[in-house]
Chain A
């Protein structure tokens, strides 16, 4: 097991392995996506209160799950990179941030689109939307820091620290925002969490969640491969690779 990790940490091994994995993950991702979308948009019953407009949850909810999940992955990779000085973990941190930011943005946009028919306005300072907005700021801060530091390794390590600090803060932020929301409760009531969800709605939701996870892994691997090539461009194996290609 330990040897496997050691091998995996070698950029060349990672590059070759991920190259073989990517097509399979891509196929699985598209498969789950098609099934989930069909189930969610066509098969699932219409909601008795919200009509068809609720169907955006099949995008919104998995995206919101992903936004937090990716942050955890990023902070975990950051801790591994800092503790064991594993270069590949640093690459993962840097590659996670834009994907996480994209999912967070998607969750915000779909939340706001969903809110329009319910609340009559594009934006309401609902606790979950607000938390999601702050999460987006955290992601953007991480990306800004990574861009600002010139040396790539230093940048990745600084970013890792920030991600870990952020992960300690996320529960506190989340809790404080919920608390703030109950204090300043406006005329609207959040409808995001239905008390019970129909199985016919739950299954497509879970299928979509798997599809999003697969998409995350896919794009993470692709980003990480590019990042690895950039970082290792002066090494023997990347040069040989480039010669083979031409």
Chain B
């Protein structure tokens, strides 16, 4: 037997998914637009009082990021499921959890990472204090991978379903609560000029937990969905 080593398998799939995303690069913009649009709806809905926006800005941005992550996540397995390459991944001689981690990583790089790029713009729109802006970026960098990792379990459970999208949000949103709480309150706390290391440690702990547990759960879920 001479199959490629683990890290190699991870990289091959990671690279393939990045290549595929690059060939459809027009679609990378969609979650970004969604993120900006949802955020822009709030001042229109509640009024443009700067003080009020500053108060609820962290929450708004994080809820919008949550929804953008969730909506883009829905597509992580769709084309692989439709063209049959998902079952080929299931049957290839590598631990499925490593392959799932590669898929999530590639997906996050193409959908989660761009959110970080527009977040400063949104911080300006909602008049977040200077000190809160860097914290916003750090929380997004730590928090959105958790959203991807946890959400992928839900996508794996709903992959063959016709109306998977609606059910996906029912399954996944309650699990997103801790990330939302820690991340949004970190930004608020930073805005008040207080230290946020506790929040960031907690987010890092969540990330470590999600990286170590969720690929295995995703793999198990996928095996059940495709059986």
Contacts and interface: CB of A to CB of B under 8 A. Distances in A.
A164 B217 CA distance: 9
A87 B213 CA distance: 25
B47 to A, nearest CB: 21
Interface in A154-182: 154, 157-158, 161-162, 164-166, 168-169, 172-173, 175-177, 179-180
A154 B223 CA distance: 10
User: Range of interface residues on chain B?
Assistant: 20 to 34
B177 interface: yes
B8 interface: no
A146 B217 CA distance: 17
Consensus secondary structure, chain A interface: helix
Contacts of A138: 174-175
B50 to A, nearest CB: 21
Contact of A140 (B170, B220, B225): B170
B227 interface: yes
Interface in A116-152: 134, 137-138, 140-141, 144-145, 148-149
B170 to A, nearest CB: 4
A183 interface: yes
Contact of B167 (A144, A172, A175): A144
A107 B7 CA distance: 49
A176 B167 contact: no
Given A165-B153, A177-B181, A183-B185, A144 B170 contact: yes
B182 A176 contact: yes
B178 A145 contact: no
A29 to B, nearest CB: 31
A74 to B, nearest CB: 15
A82 interface: yes
A144 B164 CA distance: 11
Contacts of B67: none
B175 A169 contact: yes
Contacts of B153: 161-162, 165
A84 B163 CA distance: 31
Contacts of A137: 170, 173-174
Nearest to B166: A144
A179 B157 contact: no
B178 A141 contact: no
A176 B181 contact: yes
Contacts of B171: 141, 144-145, 162
B179 to A, nearest CB: 9
A169 B217 CA distance: 13
B177 A177 contact: yes
B167 A148 contact: yes
B174 A158 contact: no
B76 to A, nearest CB: 17
24 contacts: A82-B220, A134-B174, A134-B177, A137-B173, A141-B170, A144-B171, A145-B167, A145-B171, A148-B158, A148-B161, A158-B224, A161-B217, A162-B153, A165-B153, A166-B174, A166-B175, A172-B178, A172-B209, A173-B174, A173-B175, A173-B177, A175-B178, A176-B177, A177-B181
Question: Would you list the 7 A-B pairs with minimal beta carbon distance, nearest first?
Answer: A176-B178, A137-B174, A141-B171, A176-B181, A141-B170, A180-B181, A157-B224
